[in-house]
Structure 1
């Protein structure tokens, strides 16, 4: 999906791993002065028929999208969860297309132990409507988003999702993250205060590698806080886009 005025600065919105580009619709509509690029990643949404390749290949394709459709071949990169991981990889490999980076819930360290086992086990029930309905409740999605969330979930290519999830759970190699050392654009990495410790700990893996990086905590928020408190998310994002500094509503990490 592409929207907003031609000639305005572009934002590339990268969705999470249980949804599709529609998760960013409200945020894009609330930023009418920007040109928005909101793709569906391979295996998800309108791209459910496309097989998931690798994180690096998807990040490279997103960079090509920005070069082809972004204003001046550049964009502000915004990503949550899987989208946050991809935003980090994109910035590390293609700093030339990046105006700024705003990522949250980017578990670049990977996921181990019981959390990994439970996460992978869920793939077996992805064809169940009750699973997606329960997941919507756990994510605290607003009522008007639940039907679209469930429909999107039931349409996700299970094999693609399994490959994607295993790759994310393995973590982003240090050799890829080290590309952030050449990123001159400002970067803000956020974790919700109530996210798993591994997500909060990963902030230093991102921010510690980039010369203009800032880490912050979203107070009281869980992983999908763009749905949990969309107004807070929008205020924080708008502040970043206007000033490239962390909103005072966030807490330093």
Structure 2
């Protein structure tokens, strides 16, 4: 597998801010974990991934949005420095563009192999956003033994407006292309990408990844994801958090899928839950990376999630911000 050490990242200095982090009933110093310097041992058939904090005992896999890259997590990974992190570029994206053609199944098989070969005890907690969330669920379906739990955002069967947009991928691709090559202010305003977390290198990668063929393939894979797929995921009995971004995601759909997963669980899966973060945009790891990391940490440690995570429980109608 192809690997990169964290020693080259421009964001390593951010870990100093949280020198001591409470984890459940224990306290761990981030300085306890060093990052191994790992050689590039890639084959032409393997995914690129970055491995951070390899001496930390619990492994998390972070899966990015479609058309993006592992750099999407640059502001989140320093906030999770007490964990071993595996952060790949998905097939046909950035440094994994040689692995193709893209599909959820191909991505899931590669991610599972990375976990088997690199995660502690061959298991990892899955964190995925949008396309990354669907792929995490595909891993659960195909390779349940490598998954400890999952924290997923913006990944449910499409409905209403998003289904209509997804059915016209060429038009949607054109719209994204116009935004990517418009004055930066327009792109950032349209996406809600927080100014302090804007990353020119990531933006370049998104532009490179944004091809009509890849966009249409991701749109097709997403459009084909159905309730029956969610049922298959639920039958794997994994503890899963489904999180809706209140400003752009399908909140009611997330509520329904959370209840479905909970109902299908017989053990760990019975603790699956759905939440909404009302002020969040779809790619909110680029809007509230600290909050995102706190949510991941709390879910993994089975602690209460931050107050910003409002539970979407049956019979409880919570108002989520809709458009602005």
Same fold (TM over 0.5): yes
Q: Does 1:95 align with 2:110?
A: no
Cα distance between partner residues in 2 of 1:84 and 1:25: 18
Q: 1:246 to 1:81 in 2, by over 3 A?
A: same
Cα distance between partner residues in 2 of 1:220 and 1:99: 29
47, 57, 77: which one pairs with 1:28?
77
Aligned residues of 1:107 and 1:171 also touching (Cα < 8 A): no
After the TM superposition, which of the residue ranges 175-184 and 54-63 deviates more from structure 2?
175-184
1:177 CA displacement: 2.8
1:126 CA displacement: 5.9
1:188 CA displacement: 0.5
Partner of 2:163: 112
Larger RCO of the pair (alpha carbons < 8 Å, separation 6+): 1
Larger radius of gyration: 2
Aligned residues of 1:136 and 1:146 also touching (Cα < 8 A): no
The structure 1 segments of at least 4 consecutive aligned residues displaced by more than 4 Å after TM superposition are 125-129
5+ residue gaps, structure 2:
1-49, 313-324
Cα distance between partner residues in 2 of 1:174 and 1:185: 17
Q: Does 1:233 align with 2:292?
A: yes
Cα distance between partner residues in 2 of 1:182 and 1:118: 32
146, 169, 181: which one pairs with 1:130?
181
- SS of the residue corresponding to residue 30 of structure 1 reads helix
After the TM superposition, which of the residue ranges 131-140 and 9-18 deviates more from structure 2?
131-140
5+ residue gaps, structure 1:
none
1:189 CA displacement: 0.4
Partner of 1:44: 93
Cα distance between partner residues in 1 of 2:156 and 2:201: 25
Q: Give per-residue Cα distances to partners, 1:86-125, cap 9 Å, x unaligned.
A: 1122122222111110000003336422x22565413246
Cα distance between partner residues in 2 of 1:17 and 1:215: 22
Partner of 1:249: 308
Give aligned pairs, total. 250
Partner of 2:10: none
TM-score between the two structures when normalised by the length of structure 1: 0.87
Q: 1:189 to 1:125 in 2, by over 3 A?
A: closer
184, 194, 200: which one pairs with 1:142?
194
Aligned residues of 2:65 and 2:129 also touching (Cα < 8 A): yes
- SS of the residue corresponding to residue 292 of structure 2 reads helix
- Which has the larger share of helix? 1
Cα distance between partner residues in 1 of 2:228 and 2:156: 16
How big is the alpha-carbon RMSD for the aligned residues of Structure 1 and Structure 2? 2.5
Partner of 2:204: 151
Partner of 1:60: 109
- SS of the residue corresponding to residue 135 of structure 1 reads helix
